[in-house]
């Protein structure tokens, strides 16, 4: 067997060098991609959020100056549109709401994130350098922050869109505080074209401190329904009650009996509230009243309980009225449905919060809130979850509650909100 030719040895060595270089190139590429993913999900995102915080704060303060409400948010919509144009994000405005879509460069789910942008009929006190310019109106529930947080998350997502899986749909909602903007938005098709695979929303919360993120699986907020009861009796002279049927006395009996529904028809382990908050009736101090009108609220944590209580309200009102010689018309108008988080997505929020801010800041709410939240309508269309972001500086300085004229959230909480929304969009 003869010796190999020198040219064969050279070619073999060259091939080995090429193979080695090729393998090294693949390994380096994978390492770069791994580092890129790490940068995108953690340190890189944190740096991008920090870089954009001045823009976020400026946007929030501009929104705070122009509070509006109930599908009348003309200046607010204009500002949101201007900001979306500024960041180079295509958007659509219709029927009082705004949507925008950022298409990702990688395959993955479409993430929807909602921010409400209406305000409250509250007079803001003097002293704030960016105080409301609309007297009698104030962003006393943090919706200016919700909107600025989502705009900032959208700004950053647009910058990193090549590495964004699927895409991010920004859902800017009017009228959360009044007639409810979520339902017409969902009915108008905002969760389609493209179809949202998962949906999230947040609310700043002054009972929690900056850095806290709170949610819970299943029911987070109760349904909110309006009770209307009209009792009709027979009028007579106040000195001769036997000649009439007193609608006021009958209404008082109904109000008392309605409380027995919660006490005796609802399990102590369930959450439910019946409150009669308004009553009108009577014409004079010496006339037996012939008509009383009452209004109240019904709050429940699940659909079956809601339906049972609606029926009991009607039954009790009619039976008591009949027994007292009166008639009663009881109607329960359905409001927001209960907000029920998808357990897997509530867990996802808590996992991301633990990763970003430590386990001590990822809080599981112990019981549902009896307050309403119309984000529930988005959850009727896609799995997802709603969560709270603390907005008080620290435990020794817990701020005024939501809807108070003294509400003054810590702007540092916006970092938390932006990071959470970005991570929810970026992580598959």
**Residue 10 pLDDT greater than 80, yes or no:** no
Per-position DSSP letters for 292-345, written without gaps between them:
EEEEEEEEESSHHHHHHHHHHHHHHHHHHHHHTT-EEEEEEE--SPPEEE-HHH
For residue 142, the number of C-alpha atoms closer than 13 Å in the C-beta half-sphere is 25
Dump pLDDT digits (tens) for 267-280: 999 999 999 999 99
Active site residue 240: no
Structure tokens at 117: 């942008």
Q: At what angle do helices 413-426 and 6-41 cross, to 10 degrees?
A: 140
Q: Which residues pair with 330 in a beta bridge?
A: 229
Q: Which residues pair with 288 in a beta bridge?
A: 236
* Strands (E) located in 31-96: 91-94
Q: Whole-number mean pLDDT of the chain? A: 93
Q: Would residue 216 be called left, alpha or beta, if left means φ above 0 and alpha means ψ between -120 and 50 degrees?
A: beta
Interatomic CA distance for residues 235 and 282, integer angstroms: 10
Dump pLDDT digits (tens) for 131-159: 999 999 999 999 999 999 999 999 999 99
Closest C-alpha to 185, from 337, 374, 388, 387? 374
Specify the CATH class of 223-333 in words.
Answer: alpha beta
Q: Would residue 258 be called left, alpha or beta, if left means φ above 0 and alpha means ψ between -120 and 50 degrees?
A: alpha
C-alpha torsion angle, residues 46, 117, 390, 125 (rounded to 10): 120
Interatomic CA distance for residues 217 and 385, integer angstroms: 8
Instruction: Give CA angle at 365 (399, 181), nearest 5°.
Output: 75
Active site residue 86: no
Specify the CATH class of 40-221+338-426 in words.
Answer: alpha beta
Domain ranges across the chain? 40-221+338-426, 223-333
Dump pLDDT digits (tens) for 282-336: 999 999 999 999 999 999 998 999 999 999 999 999 999 999 999 999 999 999 9
Number of H helices, E strands in the chain: 10, 16
Interatomic CA distance for residues 274 and 280, integer angstroms: 18
Per-position DSSP letters for 105-141, written without gaps between them:
SEEEEEEEEEEE---BS-PPPTT-TT--SSTT-B--S
Catalytic residue among 68, 214, 336, 373: 336
Interatomic CA distance for residues 156 and 160, integer angstroms: 6
Q: Which residues pair with 115 in a beta bridge?
A: 172
Decide: helix, strand or coil at residue 68. Answer: coil
pLDDT, mean of residues 380-401 = 97
User: Which pLDDT score, from 0 to 100, does residue 42 have?
Assistant: 79
Q: Are strands 218-221 and 339-341 parallel, antiparallel or unpaired?
A: antiparallel
Q: Is residue 24 very low, low, confident or very high in pLDDT (cuts 50, 70, 90)?
A: low
Residue 112 phi, psi (nearest 5): -105, 140
pLDDT, mean of residues 213-217 = 99
Catalytic residue among 93, 159, 329, 411: 411
Closest C-alpha to 295, from 270, 309, 274? 274
**Residue 109 pLDDT greater than 70, yes or no:** yes
Which are the contacts of 351, defined by CB distance < 8 A and separation ≥ 6?
A: 362
- The enclosing H or E element of 391 equals strand 384-392
For residue 398, the number of C-alpha atoms closer than 13 Å in the C-beta half-sphere is 8
User: Which pLDDT score, from 0 to 100, does residue 4 have?
Assistant: 54
Structure tokens at 78: 């204009």
């Amino acid at each position: 067997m003869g010796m190999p030719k020198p040219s064969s040895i050279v070619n073999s060595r060259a091939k080995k060098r090429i193979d080695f270089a090729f393998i090294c190139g693949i390994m380096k590429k994978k390492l770069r991609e791994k580092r890129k993913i790490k940068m995108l999900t953690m340190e890189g995102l944190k740096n991008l959020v920090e870089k954009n915080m001045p823009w976020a704060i400026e946007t929030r303060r501009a929104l705070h100056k122009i509070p509006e409400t109930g599908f009348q948010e003309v200046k607010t919509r204009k500002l949101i549109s201007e900001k979306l144009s500024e960041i180079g994000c295509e958007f659509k405005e219709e029927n009082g709401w705004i949507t925008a879509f950022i298409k990702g460069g990688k395959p993955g789910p479409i993430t929807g994130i909602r921010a409400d942008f209406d305000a409250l009929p509250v007079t803001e006190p003097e002293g704030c350098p960016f105080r409301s310019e609309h007297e009698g109106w104030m962003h006393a529930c943090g919706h200016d922050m919700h909107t600025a947080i989502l705009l900032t998350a959208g700004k950053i997502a647009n910058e990193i869109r090549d590495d964004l899986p699927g895409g991010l749909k920004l859902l800017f909602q009017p009228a959360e505080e009044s007639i409810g903007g979520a339902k017409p938005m969902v009915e108008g098709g905002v969760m389609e074209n493209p179809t949202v695979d998962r949906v999230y929303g947040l609310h700043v919360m002054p009972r929690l401190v900056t850095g806290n993120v709170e949610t819970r699986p299943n029911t987070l907020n109760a349904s909110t329904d309006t009770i209307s009861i009209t009792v009709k009796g027979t009028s007579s002279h106040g000195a001769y009650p036997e000649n009439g049927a007193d609608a006021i006395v009958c209404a008082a009996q109904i109000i008392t009996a309605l409380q027995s529904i919660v006490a005796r028809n609802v399990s102590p382990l369930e959450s439910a509230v019946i409150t009669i908050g308004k009553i009108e009736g009577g014409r004079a101090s010496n006339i037996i009243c012939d008509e009383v009108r009452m209004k109240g609220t019904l709050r429940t944590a699940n659909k079956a309980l809601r339906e049972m209580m609606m029926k009991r309200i009607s039954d009790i009102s009619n039976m008591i009225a009949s027994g007292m010689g009166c008639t009663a018309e009881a109607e329960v108008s359905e409001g927001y449905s209960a907000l029920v988080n998808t357990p897997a997505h509530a867990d996802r929020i808590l996992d991301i919060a633990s990763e970003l801010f430590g386990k001590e800041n990822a809080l599981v709410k112990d019981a549902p809130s009896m307050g309403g939240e119309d984000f529930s309508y988005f959850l009727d269309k896609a799995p997802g979850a709603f969560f709270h972001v603390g907005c008080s500086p620290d435990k020794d300085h817990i701020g005024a509650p939501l809807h108070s004229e003294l509400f003054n959230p810590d702007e540092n909480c916006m970092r938390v909100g932006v990071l959470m929304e970005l991570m929810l969009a970026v992580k598959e």
